[in-house]
Structures are given as C-alpha cells and as structure tokens.
Chains A and B, each alone.
Chain A
Amino acid sequence: MLPEIFFGYFACAILGLALLTVTRRNLVHSVLWMLLLFLHIACLYLFLNAEFLAVIQVIVYAGAILVLFLFLVMLLNLREEHEARRFVCAWQGRIATCLLLLMVVAVSLYKATVQPTGGYTIDFINRIGHTKVLGTVLFNQYILPFLMTALVLFVPMVAAIVLAMKEKKR
C-alpha cells in the first residue's frame, strides 16, 4: 500500500508542477517550478533504487542545465511575458505534435519490459550496486551509442564557439 501512495503522490505532483511550469507568466518562477519538478523526478528514481540516476538528475539537470536557463531568463530580463506572434498557429500543427508524442509514449510502452532481461536481475544489481552495473553496461554493451552521443553533443559546442568568436582584424 505504501509504495502506491508514494508513487501516487509523486505522479500527481509531477503533473501538477509541469502544469505550473508552463502556465506561469513570470519566467523566473516558471524555471523554479521546473526545479521542483526535477527534484520530484529524482525522488522517483530513488524510489526505483536507482540512486546514481537520481543524483545525476539533480547534478546535471537541476544543477547545470536549469541554472543556465535561469541565467538566460535573467540576462534577457524577461520579467513580463514577451508578446510575440506565435511561430505555429495552425491547430493542425498542434494536433500533429500531440499525436507524435502519443505515438512515442505508445511505442515505448509497447517495447517496455517489466522484468529485467539477461543477466541483470534485481538481485544481481542490488549485490553489485546500481552505479557499477550502469557503468559496466554503458561502457561495454552500449559504448558505440555512448560515443556517438558525445560526438553529437560536441558538434554544436564547436559551432557555438565558432559563432561567438570574433574575427581577427588584419
């Protein structure tokens, strides 16, 4: 019974916080609601015994990415909502986006496995430790996708630096 109550609270809180995040007029408040949202997601990971993922969620998303968001919002000084023409107005676009997201959810639900597969049973993970198992799987089984992701993240960084660099005057 207790796990259900726990999960129920976090599921409801995450939905509520997500709504608060997108409906606030003040962008700084909106970012702070998102911070609470991320902390709740981290708690859900903890609930699943994935302590490494939980801490990484806090360090990377809450501690780095969201701070940069806050930084940007503050530097642009957007205290009030910016009135601009929307990029996409057509209702067809909105429905298409919703359907696309629904499809992603449906496919991942269809593909998801409830029981752990292969050698990684819950007992095994508990014995070895979540962090170690994650490292072993990530750097052995999925090393190619991991390196590809690194490369994909590296390219825009180089692009940003090239854009920001001033041309030297001759």
Chain B
Amino acid sequence: MEFAIALLKTVIFVVVVFGVTLLHVAYATYFERKVIGRMQGRLGPIEVGYRGLLQPFADMVKSLFKEDIIPSDADRTLFFIAPIIVVASVMTSLAVIPFFNNGAIADLNIGVLFIFAMASLAVYGIIIAGWSSNSKYSFIGGIRSAAQVISYEIAMGISLAGVFLMAGSLNLNDIVLAQREQPLGMYAVLQAIGFVVFVISAFAETNRTPFDLPEAETELVAGYLTEYSGFRYALFFLAEYISMYIMASMITLCYLGGWALPGFLVRLVPILELVPGIVWFLIKVYAFMFFYFWVRATLPRYRFDQLMAIGWKILIPVSIINIVITAGVKRWLMG
C-alpha cells in the first residue's frame, strides 16, 4: 500500500513537471520573439490575443494541422524515431533537476552525470534525423551538430569538475547545499573560469547562436530539420527549448546557487526566507534564458573552423587549468 502511494505521488509529480515544462516552453518562444523584436526595434507578436499572448497556441495549432511530408527516399523507420529519441532523452533529464530543496523527481547521487548521459543520447536523434532524411542539407547539418556537441561536451564536463571538487558531490541537491555554505552563496565567482567555459559550452551544446551552425539558414536551409514538417518538426523545436531550460537549470544549480539564496542576503533581509525556493530558481533560470536571447539578437555566427578552434584550443585547456587550480587550492590552502 505504501509503495502504491509513493508510486502515485511520483506519477503525479512527473505529470505536473512535464505539463508545466511544456507551458514554459510555449511561453519561452513568445518571450524570445518579444525580446529579439524589441532589441531589433520591432514589436514582436501582437496580433493573437492580448499583446500576442496567445501566439504560442496559434503556432502549436498550425504545426499540428500541417501536412506531414516524408521524403521519397528516406529511411522511414529512422525518420520517425529520430524526433522521439531527441524529445525522450531531453525530457528524461528533467527528472533529476531539484526545483526546490529535495524537489527532484529522482534524487540521484550522480545527477549531473545523468544529465550528461542524456544529452549525449540526444545527439543520436539529430544525426539520425540528418541521415535518414536523404538530403544533403540535412546530412551536413546532422554531421556538424554531432561534431560540435561531442567537442563541447568535453569542455563542459571538465569545467564542471571544479564544482564537483568544491562541493565534494555529484548530487545536484548537495551541490546547492554546499554553495549555501559559501560566503557569496554561489560558485560563479570562485569558479569564474569554469563558469565562463560552461556558459560558452552551453550555447554550443544547445545549438544556439553564435554556435548555431547545424541549422545555419544561410548555408543549410534549416540543417537537420530541413525535411521535417508538422508535428515532427514541432517535436524537435520542443526538444531544443527544453534543452535550453536544462542548461539554464544546470547553470543555476551548479554556479548560481540554485533554489537557495546567499547566506548574507538572508541575514540582511530575514523576510526573504519565507519565499519558496522555486521562485528563486525560476528567477535565475529566466535570467539565463534572457541571456540566451540577448546573445542571439547581438552576435553573428562563427565559422565552423572557428567553432572547433574555440572548443579544442581554448576551452578545453582553460578548463583543465581550472581543475588543477581548484584541486591545488583545495589540497594546500583549505587542507
């Protein structure tokens, strides 16, 4: 009986998290279009609903009713599976993110590594999508994406090692709790090198500008998405935004103090203690989402060789130096 209640609780939690995430994704597209519109001196969506607030739903209905086109020489099975692989692996990562204290669906000891594992599985969906479409544009987009994600995953993993060393744990909840003990309440300052490397890698990992070469529309139409339409296209789109949220949450949890506030701020204004942790978590996540859109509106795209040079010749060596410094400080200065 107890088991059944625990199971029911988990199922409800899962449904709530996924439902809320889908709603967030819908409004992330609206947020993005508004922000970029304003930055480029436009208004963004204003027609559908009050100030265009219903625009995401209009888009959703549109993509659901579009004709589903399958290229004539495509590998049909793989063409169908590819978007499912991407969405499933990205959504699974949501399970280990603590939204408030102990507020993860599954509190894994190796939460961070689990997110990495799922991110590396999502690459398959993209490569398969590119290959099975039987189109040159899709194929090049898929190959580019694979090369990019593999390269930046290394820099990302190594830069996070500094955080693991400082927190002494791979559990996301423990990392947040360890940060709360810090004088500043976040690792972003002490782990500044790792933080910068991680942020740059997060952009590359989610295929966002300035590293959006897999879907560079001036060269590749829409990259691996070129042959997809209707609902399948929407699934890829969904996965891209969820993975942006995942990366923003990772940065929030590992570097910005997650759902916790810095200790000195709570001592200064004790009333802040009463605000639920999820509010701080969402504020930090959305600050980073805004940063994503800001960068997209500001920076031009890199060339592919520049992208590889940044990843392998700058970010990886810098993050290795970061590990050496962190380990040295921990060993000799803090005992």
Contacts and interface: CB of A to CB of B under 8 A. Distances in A.
B110 interface: yes
A28 interface: yes
Contacts, number: 65
B120 interface: yes
Interface of A is mostly: helix
B117 A71 contact: no
Contacts of B109: 51, 129-131
Interface string A59-75: 10011100110110011
A52 interface: yes
Interface string B37-78: 000000000000000000000000000000000000001001
Contacts of A130: 109
B127 A55 contact: no
Contacts of B150: 64, 67-68
A41 interface: no
B143 A28 contact: no
A67 B139 CA distance: 14
B127 A70 contact: yes
Contact of A74 (B119, B123, B127, B153): B127
B124 A74 contact: no
A32 interface: yes
Interface residues on A, range: 20 to 34
B221 interface: no
B161 interface: no
Contact of A64 (B110, B120, B170): B120
Contact of A63 (B75, B123, B147, B170): B123
A58 interface: yes
12 contacts: A28-B75, A28-B128, A32-B128, A35-B124, A51-B110, A55-B114, A55-B116, A63-B117, A63-B123, A67-B124, A74-B131, A74-B142
Given A70-B127, A74-B142, A130-B109, 8 more contacts: A51-B110, A58-B121, A59-B117, A63-B123, A67-B123, A71-B127, A71-B143, A71-B146
Interface of A: 28-29, 32, 35, 51-52, 55-56, 58-59, 62-64, 67-68, 70-71, 74-75, 129-131
